[in-house]
Amino acid sequence: MTLKKKPVTGMKDILPEEMEIRDYVIGLIKDTYKTYGFQSMETPCVEHIENLCSKQGGDNEKLIFKIMKRGEKLKIQEAKEENDLADSGLRYDLTVPLARYYAGHANELPSPFKAMQIGSVWRADRPQRGRFRQFTQCDIDILGEAGPLAEIELILATTAMLGKLDFRNFTVCINDREILRAMAAYSGFKEEDYDEVFISLDKMDKIGQEGVAQELKDLGYSADQVDTYLGLFAQVEEDISGVRYLKEKLGECLPKETAERMEHIMSCVEAAKECEFRLKFTPTLVRGQSYYTGTIFEVVMDDFGGSVAGGGGRYDKMIGKFTGQDTPACGFSIGFERIVMLLLEQGYQVPDRRKKKAYLLDKNLPAQALLTVLKRAKEERESGCQVLIANMKKNKKFQKEQLSQEGYEEITDCYPDSVDRL
C-alpha cells in the first residue's frame, strides 16, 4: 500500500509562516480576553453522540464525524440505524461541550462564569476556499448572566481584539430572535412556520428581497403575508432608530423589554467601544443554530467582500437540557481561520517579534569552537533573540537566501579561525 503525502481532504498542513501568525493571534486573543475577566477552560474533542444529536446544532448535526462503538458494544447485525453503531463523535463546535462542562461543574465555578476556550472542531462539510473540515474556534461565553451586560461585554471584548489586529473597517450586525418572531407574527405567519420563513429570510444577502418573496410564495404563503413581512424590513433603519420603529410598529407582538434591551446594548457598546467599527441593527440576521433564544450577532469584514469573521448569541435553553433547569448563557465565536487567512493575504507581519540570528557551522569546526558558538547563542537567547545554529551547506548562498526569507536578519559564518571574534 502506497503511503500518501497529502493530508486528508478538507484538512491542511500548516507551514511555519502561517503558524507564526496563528500563534501570535491566539496569544493576542488570550491576553485580550483575560483583561475582560474570561478564564481559560478546555473540553475533550470527542463528545457523546446523544449530546451532538440533541437537535440544538441545526445543520451541523448532519456533518458529524461519528466514532463507531468498539469491541463488544459494536453489534452490527442488531443495528437498525446509523446512530446504533456510534456512541460518540468529534465535536462540531465548542458550545455544546461547554454546556455539558458547566452542567457538571456549576457548583465549582464562579457565577457568572466567563469562559474562554480555543480548540479544534470538525465538520464533514464540503471543502472550499477558507472552509475546512478541521478548523480552530475561539469562543468566549458568559454563563449565569441574564442581563444585557453579557452581550455588551462579549461585543466589546471581541471588537477590542480585532482592533489590536489593525482591523478597522468592520461591522457588528446585531438582532434578536424575539424580534424575528415578532415581525413574523405581525405579518400573519403561524408559529409553526417561523423556522421555514427564517430559512428563506436568511438568504436575503444572496437572492435579494425579490428572491425571498418568490421563495415564500412558492412555499404557499399568501401575497399579503409576504408583502407585509418584507415591507417591514424596507422601513427599518440600521441604528437604534430602527429598533424604536419596530417597537412602535409591532405593538403587542414585540415585548417592550426586548426592544429596550436591544436599545440598551447598542447605546452602551457605542459609548464604550475601544476601536472603530460600525454597529448595525440587522433585522434580517438569523444565524442557523436552533439553540439561539435571544440576541444574535455577527462580525462582517467590509473590506474583504463582507466575509463573516465570527458570530454568536444568547442560548438560555441549552444548559437546561442537561440539568433540567435553564441557565442564562451568551457566547461569541471568532472566525479564527477566516481572520488568519485575511492577515496572510494582507502580508501581515507579527509586530515586535524577536530578532532572529543564525550561525552557520563549518564542517571542520573543532569541538571547542562549537562550545564557543553555543555559549554565545545562549547569551543572545537570554537577551531576547531567536537563535538558530545549523551546519553550513554546500550551496551556502541558497541557504542564506532561505534564512533571509524566514526573517533571519543576521547570519554569521563560523569557521575555525573566526569563532574567537564572535
pLDDT of 406 reads: 86
Cell 475546512 -> residue:
132
Give the whole-angstrom CA distance, residue 18 versus residue 344: 7
* Cα–Cα distance measured from residue 256 to residue 392, given in angstroms and rounded to the nearest whole number: 74
Integer Cα distance of 281 and 94 in angstroms: 26
pLDDT value, residue 147:
95
**pLDDT on residue 387:** 94
The pLDDT score that the predictor gives to residue 421 is: 77
Residue 83 has what pLDDT?
74
Contact indicator for 416, 362 with CB cutoff of 8 Å: yes
For residue 327, give the C-alpha cell: 441557565
Query: Residue 304's pLDDT is what?
Result: 76
Distance, in Å, from the CA atom of 98 to the CA atom of 116, rounded to the nearest integer, reads 10
pLDDT reported for residue 302:
84
Q: What is the pLDDT of residue 79?
A: 66
First-to-final CA distance of the chain: 52
Q: Where are the beta strands (DSSP E) in 70-133?
A: 86-90, 113-122
Residue 191, CA distances (Å) to 109, 188, 329 in order: 37, 9, 24
Cα angle 93, 99, 103 (rounded to 5 degrees) comes to 155
CA 144 to chain centre: 22
Element (H, E) at 390: strand 386-391
Name the 3-class secondary structure at 183.
helix
Rounded CA-CA distance 313/384 in Å is 42
How many whole angstroms separate alpha carbon 390 and alpha carbon 373? 11
d(CA 268, CA 243): 15
What's the pLDDT score for residue 39? 97
Per-residue pLDDT, 366: 92
Residues of the chain below pLDDT 70: 57, 77-80, 130
